Copies of this chain bind each other. A is one copy, B any other.
């Protein structure tokens, strides 16, 4: 109950202090943990690993398969497709700006990008490797990786720890600044339309920003209950509660339906929405958030204004050079 109460307090406050609300722009660099300073060599290696389908059992699925760096950082599917066409129950979160998430995965079970990167590789329905020992053994057979790991970490450095550090270092570079919103906040008042400004103000007024604020619109807290309100009608349609969120990991009652607050950055590109990808359009997603999180029936105009504002959160995707993945003779996958 504490979480619900504090949410309502925040909402009540939000209505009165919306003018003073601080809109923040996206930093162009992400902070790195003390034990994994970002270096060009790590980023280059991480980019290779991130795009290498040989990190999967079938040789067909890379990190980028589900978190596509050529698109909005995910795959526009309700659930992703892993090795051998298998699918899970959750929708791939975007990798863009994931450096600014306080926790990782939909259920927030990983505290860092490094920890997150280790997961999908050995998940049987995602990349399907039997163990990280197998991944490391495979990487060691590829001469180009021996060179790239040495450049990034020193001699004989191919390990799970260094592979995930490199992937995380690369992910910290996946930032999309200069959205119309950022330009507006920095003073370019022509960057947003009148409708988008209305939507922006509406989000603060309604209290959306209680959970979705800060540079990536995913704070100040890390977690939030979803849905807050019980609504049998929507539940029958979208099955949000079938998945218990953090409680699936912790098995604690108080963690039921607790989720990482997802970023709103580039949200126009990342349909379908919510943890189970059950909602196809941004309009419906906004309507549901009003009803299920705030207990409000938003008008068509309010929804349209907010969606127009969310469109303004699409940033500039950095130009990246395609990695050339080091080959090896006699490789085959089944």
Within 8 Å CB of A277, what residues of B?
332
Within 8 A of B (CB), among A73-118: 75-78, 81, 83-86
Q: Does A71 touch B at the CB level, under 8 Å?
A: yes
For A163-201 the 0/1 string (1 means CB < 8 A from B) is: 000000000000000000000000000000000000000
Q: Does A282 touch B at the CB level, under 8 Å?
A: yes
Alpha-carbon distance A323/B324, docked complex (angstroms): 15
For A317-334 the 0/1 string (1 means CB < 8 A from B) is: 101111111011111111
Q: In the complex, which of the residues B68, B83, B268, B334 contacts A329, with contact meaning CB atoms closer than 8 Å?
A: B268
Which of A1-9, A51-59, A152-160, A224-232 contacts the other chain? A51-59
Within 8 Å CB of A76, what residues of B?
54, 59, 331-333
Closest Cβ of chain B to A297, distance in Å, is 22
Q: Does A271 touch B at the CB level, under 8 Å?
A: yes
User: Could you tell me if A332 and B272 are in contact, using CB atoms closer than 8 angstroms?
Assistant: yes
Quickly give the copy total for this chain: 2
User: Could you tell me if A330 and B70 are in contact, using CB atoms closer than 8 angstroms?
Assistant: no
User: Could you tell me if B324 and A322 are in contact, using CB atoms closer than 8 angstroms?
Assistant: no
User: Could you tell me if A327 and B77 are in contact, using CB atoms closer than 8 angstroms?
Assistant: no
User: Could you tell me if A322 and B320 are in contact, using CB atoms closer than 8 angstroms?
Assistant: yes
User: Could you tell me if A327 and B51 are in contact, using CB atoms closer than 8 angstroms?
Assistant: no
A interface residues, how many (CB within 8 angstroms): 48
Within 8 Å CB of A86, what residues of B?
85
For A272-285 the 0/1 string (1 means CB < 8 A from B) is: 10000100111000
User: Could you tell me if B81 and A268 are in contact, using CB atoms closer than 8 angstroms?
Assistant: no
User: Could you tell me if A322 and B321 are in contact, using CB atoms closer than 8 angstroms?
Assistant: yes
Alpha-carbon distance A332/B273, docked complex (angstroms): 9
Q: Does A65 touch B at the CB level, under 8 Å?
A: yes
Alpha-carbon distance A118/B314, docked complex (angstroms): 33
Alpha-carbon distance A332/B53, docked complex (angstroms): 23
User: Could you tell me if A329 and B282 are in contact, using CB atoms closer than 8 angstroms?
Assistant: yes
User: Could you tell me if B77 and A332 are in contact, using CB atoms closer than 8 angstroms?
Assistant: yes
Q: In the complex, which of the residues B75, B320, B321 contacts A53, with contact meaning CB atoms closer than 8 Å?
A: B75
Alpha-carbon distance A328/B266, docked complex (angstroms): 11
Write 19 A-B pairs (CB below 8 A) sorted by A numbering.
A59-B77, A60-B75, A60-B81, A69-B322, A70-B322, A70-B325, A71-B325, A76-B331, A77-B333, A78-B332, A83-B85, A84-B85, A85-B85, A268-B327, A311-B329, A319-B321, A320-B322, A321-B322, A322-B322
Interface residues of A (CB under 8 A from B): 51-54, 58-60, 65, 68-72, 75-78, 81, 83-86, 268-269, 271-272, 277, 280-282, 311, 314, 317, 319-325, 327-334
The 8 closest A-B pairs by CB, nearest first: A85-B85, A269-B327, A84-B85, A272-B332, A320-B322, A281-B330, A76-B331, A60-B81
